[in-house]
């Protein structure tokens, strides 16, 4: 790739033998500036890193070689596997995040991200549901990249899935608390669909605060106009659509 600024981080190790890269994890830096984020990602005391960081003006930094295991995902699970650092590439987008003034991701930054994803797609077998946010693989613990991230635009460019149905105007008409009944067939169906998408749930028989955090992560990715953790009709439609695409 052209115009890559190499600033090596010491925070990496070898990937386990036999592990293939099939997942891209997108983060926001969640710090007051890109320089502060870059310093932390290269600080051995911080013990965090990512393969790439993209500034708001589109500058692309590489801290860890793609074949190495960067330390960006932390405690994580996706598609039945934990420790997603093993099989993923981590991309940090400079953004203050929810703590310092979350804002939309600028056009030059997203254009550079799409260019980087094109490169990665040409090199690795990234699965259709392998383009995820940090909140997808660690719901309840992480919020990034958040509901302002343009997942739909990425899907339109061939990076990930987007629903064919539009649930935007169906935020009313909650599902009558069915998901809260541990004996409800609806709760089981809902949790199974979340599992098909890739989310980890130890208990599929009920719907509690843990399940709500997973729904919030799903909404931030595929239904960003309603990030509530509540399953309204629109969310149910979008979830069924995405799960159906993955089944096929």
Residues recognised as catalytic: 92
Task: Give the whole-angstrom CA distance, residue 38 versus residue 49.
Answer: 9
Q: Which residue bears the tokens 């981080």?
A: 9
Q: Whole-angstrom Cα distance, residue 79 to residue 134?
A: 14
Tell me the CA distances in angstroms from 195 to 79, 93, 218, 243, one per residue in order.
7, 27, 11, 9
Question: Token pair of 11, please?
Answer: 């925070």
Distant-in-sequence, close-in-space partners of 45: CB < 8 Å, separation ≥ 6: none
244: helix, strand or coil: helix
């Amino acid at each position: 790739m052209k115009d890559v600024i190499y600033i090596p981080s010491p925070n990496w190790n070898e990937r386990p033998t036999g592990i293939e890269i099939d997942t891209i994890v997108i983060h926001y830096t969640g710090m007051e500036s890109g320089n502060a984020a870059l310093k932390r990602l290269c600080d051995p005391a911080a013990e965090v890193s990512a393969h790439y960081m993209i500034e708001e003006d589109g500058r692309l930094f590489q801290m860890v070689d793609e074949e190495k295991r960067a330390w960006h995902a932390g405690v994580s699970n996706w598609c039945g596997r934990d420790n997603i650092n093993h099989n993923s590439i981590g991309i940090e987008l400079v953004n203050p995040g929810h703590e310092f003034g979350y804002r939309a991701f600028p056009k030059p930054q997203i254009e550079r991200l799409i260019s980087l994803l094109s490169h990665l797609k040409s090199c690795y077998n990234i699965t259709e549901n392998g383009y995820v946010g940090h909140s997808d693989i660690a719901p309840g613990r992480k919020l990034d990249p958040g509901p302002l991230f343009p997942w739909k635009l990425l899907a339109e460019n061939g990076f990930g899935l987007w629903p064919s149905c539009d649930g935007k105007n169906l935020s009313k008409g909650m599902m009558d608390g069915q998901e809260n009944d541990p004996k409800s067939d609806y709760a089981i169906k809902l949790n199974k669909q979340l599992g098909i998408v890739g989310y980890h749930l130890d208990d599929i028989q009920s719907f509690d605060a843990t399940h709500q955090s997973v729904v919030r992560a799903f909404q931030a990715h595929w239904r960003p106009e309603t990030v509530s953790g509540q399953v309204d009709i629109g969310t149910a439609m979008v979830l069924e659509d995405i799960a159906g695409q993955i089944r096929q």
